[in-house]
Amino acid sequence: MANIEDWQKAASKEVKGKDLTWQTPEGIAVKPLYTAEDVSVDPGLPGFAPFTRGVRASMYAGRPWTIRQYAGFSTAEESNAFYRRNLAAGQKGLSVAFDLATHRGYDSDHPRVVGDVGKAGVAIDSVEDMKILFDGIPLDQMSVSMTMNGAVIPILAFFIVAGEEQGVARAQLDGTIQNDILKEFMVRNTYIYPPEPSMRIISDIFGYTSREMPKFNSISISGYHMQEAGATQVQELAFTIADGMEYVKYGVASGLDIDKFAGRLSFFFAIGMNFFMEVAKLRAARVLWHRVMTQLGAQDERSKMLRTHCQTSGVSLQEQDPYNNVIRTTIEAMAAMLGGTQSLHTNALDEAIALPTDFSARIARNTQIVIQEETGMTKVVDPLGGSYYIEALTQELVDKAWEIIERVEAEGGMAKAVAAGWPKAMIEEAAAGRQARVDRGEDVIVGVNKYRLASEDQLDTLEVDNMAVREGQIARLKWVRENRDETKCRAALNALTEGAKTGGNLLELAVEAARHRATLGEISDAMEIVFGRHGTHPTPVRGVYSAYYAGDARYQQVLDGVEAVTRRLGRAPRMLVSKMGQDGHDRGANVIASAFGDMGFDVTSSPLFQTPEEAAKLALEADVDAVGASSLAAGHKTLIPELIRHLREAGRSDIKVVAGGVIPPQDYDFLREAGVQGIYGPGTNVVEAAADMLRLLGHNMPPAGEELAAAE
């Protein structure tokens, strides 16, 4: 029988001595062959500690994972109709996406959210909206997941009251609220209050739900947004587990018995395109959670059992050749299933461009149904268990993530680490490195930097009429305020403010306010009076992007171009990278700011959540040559033309305005007519975007060289 030395000789001969070891972004050296000698830990059996092979003995052989598609569109009526269609077509649970105004605690009539209402999710201003959202959907029979963090108190209060008025007792409500504020401060940024009162809110929700809602999961600790922001799988794994530890410690410190609430904690992970890494990541997560909960003193094995929802990657979806996204989502769905997820959302093919249509949402949902019904993959529990590679990779991830967790704990826990900023900086460095590898063609994306089509047909996309949605919401808000008992409503809101000052369960107080038809903005404001509103200013990393381009001819051309413009202007070209509206996803903006800074531009990063007027004022104060407006949440047709109008009214129509992010090609002409001079969607090569900016600033930048053309 051949031994490992025989294999090494044969393989080396076949590839002429080339080293086949793969260095992953996580710093893991993946060998081309794994054997029994690489497996050092017995993974045990499914349903038994430390749950490496799954939290249930029978897993999908007994019951498949829950198909839980994440969706919310414009109004409660539209979303309700969409949910009903999906449930009729085989979906098993609901997952609600809220619009950004709702996330940030603003009613739809607030002047800061003109471009955000109904975009990227459903607008919920009061109990009346929540009742419409679940009209005809029995809340005593349907598990409901709600992705909400900043405005978690009013949204959960509305859900509880909507259930009551549907005749469903709180104890019967089943589902999950995300309620994960630490990751908001790290990557997603849809926070409202500062960290300390935000953590108090989480403890109050733990206390209320453990007492009143025994079937409800009081938190979904989310790594998803970390990976979407650029984190490696090791970073996502480590910081998510560390966040969970912090929440448990806060719950215990508030007087709760760990085994009374820990069993209702759940997790949420991203599933990207590194197939085996993602399978191993979910297995490693279960091992790590069992370890940390044992250390924190949990006695009940259910408290140590990591249950998770997963969602296929949004950042892996591409605007170019978008039907490839169906293939990507299918591969990612299989990784989630083989890793042992409890529920799954599969992204639609058009989500790199716009909100999904019914057509694309059906394909996404049916991806899961086909895997469950046609493939036979659910017939065997943990079919990859015992794979030399999977078991070795699982242990490698456990060890590497544990190193980061130990650093977090040594520095006082995740809340202090987030305040210090180093986890966010680590993730941004990984994001900049990933973008550079893609731009250089080292990380292949089919249809983007390799096998690119000469021309592409446009997809039909869904567009939300933002102004019509806002007008409808304002009308309903007016009706709610006119028909409530104002005295009782004000008394309940005052009691909430007093509770924020002196103690008392904030969720319990908010439920009372919701019963008296206090709005989301009013409930949020009642706490903001005491807690204040949190704000941060991005500080992009430097030097990461340039390190990948040392010696690159095209990159040097851009550096030379920046130097030439600097000589002509007597200073470096100045650029403002702006995030307007309530969208806190800042990966793209930070990558651009980091890369352009490395290339010699004088870059100003705006604070998050700016209005067009505030962005224009900052552009004037910084005396910039250009503004790069970053868009993700579909507010570009409202916000960017407004920015251009303010610049023109100030007499600075010479300032170039360009746009980047998730912008449907159908909107390009609209934006160009409004005065946008460059549009850069997902998959844009950042070096070429910089070259284009130099042309806009009057430099005769040569076209991309033969090396770039060959890479494409």
| CA separation for the pair 150, 128 (Å, rounded) | 20
Query: How many Cα atoms within 13 Å fall on the side-chain side of residue 589?
Result: 28
What is the pLDDT, as a whole number, of residue 300?
95
The residue length of the chain stands at 712
Q: For 268-306, how does the pLDDT look when each residue is reduced to its tens digit (9 = 90+)?
A: 999 999 999 999 999 999 999 999 999 999 999 999 999
| CA separation for the pair 610, 579 (Å, rounded) | 6
What is the pLDDT, as a whole number, of residue 538?
79
Q: Which residues pair with 67 in a beta bridge?
A: 344
- Fold of the 544-697 domain: Rossmann fold (3.40.50)
DSSP codes of every residue in 322-341: TTHHHHHHHHHHHHHHHHT-
| CA separation for the pair 685, 318 (Å, rounded) | 13
Q: Which residues are annotated as catalytic?
A: 70, 224-225, 579, 583, 585
519: three-class secondary structure by DSSP: coil
Q: For 315-326, how does the pLDDT look when each residue is reduced to its tens digit (9 = 90+)?
A: 899 888 999 999
Residues 6+ apart with CB under 8 A from 334: 275, 371, 377
Residue 22 buriedness (CB in 10 A; 0-12 / 13-18 / 19+) = exposed
| Domain range summary for the chain, segments of one domain joined by + | 544-697
| pTM, full prediction | 0.88
| CA separation for the pair 447, 319 (Å, rounded) | 9
What is the pLDDT, as a whole number, of residue 463?
65
* Pairs from 701-709 (Cβ < 8 Å, separation ≥ 24): 701/557, 701/558, 701/561, 702/557, 704/554, 705/553, 705/554, 705/557, 707/553, 707/554, 708/554
Distance of CA 188 to the CA centre of its chain: 6
What is the pLDDT, as a whole number, of residue 189?
86
Written as six digits, the tokens of 668 are 């390009």
What is the pLDDT, as a whole number, of residue 115?
83
First to last CA, the chain: 45
What is the pLDDT, as a whole number, of residue 706?
42
Residue 561 buriedness (CB in 10 A; 0-12 / 13-18 / 19+) = buried
Rounded to whole angstroms, what are the CA distances from 218 to 174, 261, 287, 417? Answer: 10, 8, 22, 23
Written as six digits, the tokens of 621 are 């104060």
Residues of the chain with pLDDT under 50: 706-712
